[in-house]
Chains A and B, each alone.
Chain A
Amino acid sequence: MIYAGKNTGILVQGATGSQGKFHINLMNEYAKKIGSAGVIAGTTPGKGGQEVFGVPVYNSVVEAIEEHDIGASVIFVPAGGCGDAIMEAADARIPTVITITEHTPVHDIMRAITYARSCGTRVIGPNCPGMLVPGECKLGIIPANLCMKGDVGVVSRSGTLTYQVISELTSSGFGQSGIIGIGGDAIIGQTFSEVIDEYHADGRTKTVVLIGEVGGNLEIEGASRAIELDMPVVSYIAGVSAPKEKRMGHAGAIVEGGEGDAASKIERLQILGIPVATRPSQIPELIREVR
């Protein structure tokens, strides 16, 4: 199991907003098709008692867990309330919390992730598309029609770029053992290396596809971890020709131990012996080479 499985009951926080409703429906269409538990409860403060596509809505996470066995939560609440929603889920000891919301204040997220860790809760995101394990579960907004069951583990900081990569993989006959979007923000919960640990422990992943972007050095940490675990990795880093990322001033650049631009990141990956695609359509070919 990678964070969640076939029998994981899913909670959606922010269930009655337009995004929440829309994606509860899509998640449960997929759950029905593959026979997984799917979304079994939702929350929106003040909207307890309502239903969204047959899913009961509660005022709070505490009320929801009294009635249901919940293994993971997916958060669609607006940015200003997102840190609070993560802490509410962690306080109720929900093991996995996936945060789809974008534009969240960075201080809220730092505090929420720290609190979640102290509760034993793992946070994926924010600003991410969530996760999908073909044939097992979908938590978030990754389009299920692009995916196919297999043994390639995808981990990515992007949203739509991930969809691009999945469709390249599927059309080349490479199914996926999991697709996990960890989010594009400066501060995120689960990182490449933690997701790679999950893929390794799960044992069904033969090759990892690591999709990165400009900024930070999480890709290098992740790649180093995969090498320690003896897991083959291929990578793609977006932003070689992109305008310079807005940096957190000079001090930020120092803390990151470099500027985190795509070109130097690619160079560091290549030094580690990891093949890096120059465009997404090249990824299947690189997988064939490392196998």
Chain B
Amino acid sequence: MKFREYEAKQIFRDAGIPVPSSVLITSPNEAAPALLKVAEKVVLKAQVDVGGRGKAGGILPANADNITSVAAELFGKTIKGLKVEKVLVEEALEISHEYYLSITIDRSRKMPVILFSKEGGVEIETLAKERPGALHRVYVDPSFVVLPDFIVRNVIGDAPKEIGKIVKTLYAVFLTKDAVLAEINPLVMTPKGVLAADGKIILDDNSLARQGISENRDLAPREAEAEKHGFSYVELDGSIGVIGNGAGLTMATLDIIAHYNGKAANFLDVGGGANSDRVMYAVRLVASMPGVKVIVVNLLGGITRCDEVAKGIVAAGISQPVIVRLAGTNEAEGRLLLEEHGYKMLDTMDLAIRAAVEVTQ
């Protein structure tokens, strides 16, 4: 789950990483009072979760004379499809140099990596591609609960020492927040010292509960509803509803649909131990999506009981056809129950998927 800029900066501030002074507002009327608290010259920054926010007009300078009208302009905007609902009123900075600093996880090495560049403020992907030498990488043994000084020295090289303290603190934030990314871009040199001018933190979705977060707000409403039932669910734009167990098998189901020139309406992984209630809910959820003409159920597993799955499909009682491929225990009972109620059960996933694609053509 992603934290927005204002949330990341609050976390930085609490941890002791210097950030520009700022106030978060939710309407244009709050802008002028906020400016009085912050500085004479400010920037208004839309709190929307998109890349390239500045170029898209999401960051505007303002002063005491024009602040209310600039704020009204920003609140009226939609940036890359997202409506501006929160704005950060932040002091305008006198910047003499920009750095890049982030900490993330290297999957191959199975350890955290600190990325640092003396050329910050640019698109970091562009920098990595065009001038890889300018992006410095230092790997950290995950056993360290405090970042050792020698690693800090290796990260910053001859950059100002106060950046070293920020590296150390950012690493502490990375660990205590169970983050998979903690990024400061740019980290800026100003007459007041080094400040985190922008910030981004992404949390590990498997650690939200112990971070005291009950709901992953990055999920769309139907996805969040599905998550409560323990499903992984993503909506697509085709007409073939998909229910599978296991992410790999469900992805393979989507791929085979595409192979036969069909279009999947969704990805739904019911997870392990699907009983009749869960299957019923999954079938109804997928059937409720507009444009779904047929549903293919592809469940496989030693412990999945086919009679339970069949009961769930029958109980869902939806109007669209359901084509079923089931393998597991009590297969014969499941098949009998489905056939009694007029559902098709096919022997292989290829056959089931092809039959579903034919319905839509």
The answer to whether B248 and A105 have CB atoms under 8 Å apart is no
Distance between Cα atoms of A229 and B112 in the complex (Å): 30
**Nearest Cβ on chain A to B163's Cβ, whole angstroms:** 17
Interface 9-mer from B33-41, B57-65, B204-212: B204-212
Residues of B within 8 A of A281 (CB): 348-350
With A114-B111, A252-B180 given, is the CB distance from A157 to B248 under 8 Å?
A: yes
The answer to whether A242 and B302 have CB atoms under 8 Å apart is no
The answer to whether A251 and B183 have CB atoms under 8 Å apart is yes
With A107-B175, A242-B267, A252-B105 given, is the CB distance from A279 to B252 under 8 Å?
A: yes
- 20 A-B pairs, CB-CB below 8 angstroms? A107-B204, A110-B105, A110-B111, A113-B110, A114-B141, A143-B301, A158-B246, A158-B249, A160-B301, A161-B252, A162-B248, A167-B300, A213-B248, A241-B257, A248-B104, A248-B202, A250-B51, A252-B105, A253-B125, A256-B106
**Nearest Cβ on chain B to A27's Cβ, whole angstroms:** 12
Distance between Cα atoms of A110 and B113 in the complex (Å): 12
Distance between Cα atoms of A254 and B123 in the complex (Å): 12
**Nearest Cβ on chain A to B223's Cβ, whole angstroms:** 11
Distance between Cα atoms of A213 and B303 in the complex (Å): 23
Classify the interface of chain B: helix, strand, loop or mixed. Answer: mixed
**Nearest Cβ on chain B to A127's Cβ, whole angstroms:** 9
Q: Is A238 an interface residue (CB 8 A)?
A: yes
Q: Which A residues, 182 to 199, have Cβ-Cβ distances below 8 Å to chain B?
A: 184, 186-188
Which residue from B108, B178, B202 sits with its C-beta under 8 Å from A217? B108
Quick one: which of A80, A167, A240, A253 has the most chain B CB within 10 A?
A240
The answer to whether B180 and A163 have CB atoms under 8 Å apart is no
**Nearest Cβ on chain B to A179's Cβ, whole angstroms:** 13
Interface residues of B (CB under 8 A from A): 51, 102, 104-108, 110-113, 115, 124-125, 128, 135, 137, 141-143, 175, 178, 180-181, 183, 200, 202, 204-207, 209-210, 234, 236, 244-249, 251-252, 254-259, 264, 267, 300-303, 327, 348-350
**Nearest Cβ on chain A to B171's Cβ, whole angstroms:** 12
The answer to whether A254 and B142 have CB atoms under 8 Å apart is no
The answer to whether A161 and B259 have CB atoms under 8 Å apart is no
Known: A104-B206, A160-B244. 19 other contacts (CB 8 A): A105-B210, A106-B204, A106-B206, A113-B110, A114-B111, A114-B141, A141-B303, A158-B247, A160-B249, A239-B254, A240-B258, A241-B255, A248-B202, A251-B115, A252-B104, A254-B135, A255-B105, A279-B256, A280-B349
Which residue from B51, B105, B141, B200 sits with its C-beta under 8 Å from A186? B105
The answer to whether A251 and B254 have CB atoms under 8 Å apart is no
Which residue from B137, B143, B256, B258 sits with its C-beta under 8 Å from A114? B143
Residues of A within 8 A of B236 (CB): 243
The answer to whether A141 and B302 have CB atoms under 8 Å apart is yes
Quick one: which of A142, A238, A240, A246 has the most chain B CB within 10 A?
A238
The answer to whether A167 and B327 have CB atoms under 8 Å apart is yes
Q: Is A285 an interface residue (CB 8 A)?
A: no
The answer to whether A106 and B207 have CB atoms under 8 Å apart is yes
The answer to whether B234 and A243 have CB atoms under 8 Å apart is yes
The answer to whether A105 and B206 have CB atoms under 8 Å apart is yes
Distance between Cα atoms of A142 and B247 in the complex (Å): 16
The answer to whether B108 and A111 have CB atoms under 8 Å apart is no
Distance between Cα atoms of A139 and B114 in the complex (Å): 37
Which residue from B51, B124, B142, B348 sits with its C-beta under 8 Å from A251? B124
Distance between Cα atoms of A256 and B258 in the complex (Å): 27
Closest A residue to B113 by CB, please name it. Answer: A255
The answer to whether B247 and A184 have CB atoms under 8 Å apart is yes
**Nearest Cβ on chain A to B206's Cβ, whole angstroms:** 5
